[in-house]
Homo-oligomer: A and B are copies of this chain.
Amino acid sequence: MCNQPHTPKSFASLQPDGFDAVVVAGGDFPTHAVPLTLVEQARMLVACDSAGEELIRRGYMPTAIIGDCDSMSQEFLTAHCDIIYKVEEQDYNDLTKATRFCVERGCRRIAYVGATGKREDHTLGNISLLDFYRREMHIAALMATDHGVFLSASGTTELATFAGQQVSIFNLTCSHLEGDGLRWQPYAFAAMWQGTLNEATGESITLRGDGSYMVYGVYE
């Protein structure tokens, strides 16, 4: 297995067949067509804890529901015992437990949905986990929200865009960061707010950093 994860090359258009698994977290359930299509066409659909109940209530059938299952009724647990995997350890949250489940089954290209909304500390934590998954678990991780897409990347990254696409860059460990195809030249931002409010000027952007960073782009 190659330890260099594939980085998705575009957030202008997301192909559901580009992912081995879709993980649904317990934030706001998606309403935008992009994350909904990912859920509907997932090869493997893995739910974090209570998101499993939400999926089933909405008529989807998850491949697996992972979590500590504390909030599930006995009736639900019994009815869906064949797909429920109870994981009680405290070091990692449900998103990471679900990710590990996917990795153990050979998945390397994982899309995350429902990972924002509700508690903002969970939103921050879930977004930052994309970098952890890329670096430590060699996963090509992409998060599709109701507004846009987060990618974790390092080194040089070229992404397909559309002219005028709103883009934000969040530096994590770069001491040097630059790019092409953006309205404002990125640099090794010291704070998250400094990389926001940028914009693609054409059909691609290229970022070159000497460390890790995250890129966010809004939908067309």
* A contact residues, range: 20 to 34
Work out how many copies of this chain go into the complex.
2
User: What 1/0 mask marks residues of chain A from 115 to 137 whose CB sits below 8 Å from any chain B CB?
Assistant: 01111111111111101100000
The answer to the question of A112 belonging to the interface, with a C-beta cut-off of 8 Å to chain B, is: no
- Contact A128 B216, beta carbon cutoff 8 Å: no
Stretch at the interface among A39-47, A56-64, A100-108, A191-199: A191-199
Question: Is A170's CB within 8 Å of the partner chain B?
Answer: yes
A170 to B123, CA, bound (A): 12
Chain A residues 140 to 177 lying within 8 A of chain B, measured CB to CB, are 145, 147-148, 150, 166, 168, 170
A131 — which chain B residues lie within 8 A by C-beta? 191
Nearest CB in chain B to that of A95: its residue: B193
| Closest B residue, CB atoms, query A130 | B193
Q: For window 185-220 of chain A, which residues contact chain B by CB distance below 8 Å? A: 191-193, 195-197, 216, 218
User: Residues of B contacting A117 with CB < 8 Å?
Assistant: 117
Kindly state whether residue A7 has any CB partner on chain B within 8 Å. Answer: no
The yes or no answer to A10 lying at the interface (CB within 8 A) is no
Which one of A118, A120, A197 has the highest number of Cβ atoms from chain B below 10 Å of its Cβ? Answer: A120
6 contacts between A and B (CB under 8 A): A93-B196, A120-B123, A124-B127, A125-B196, A129-B193, A132-B193
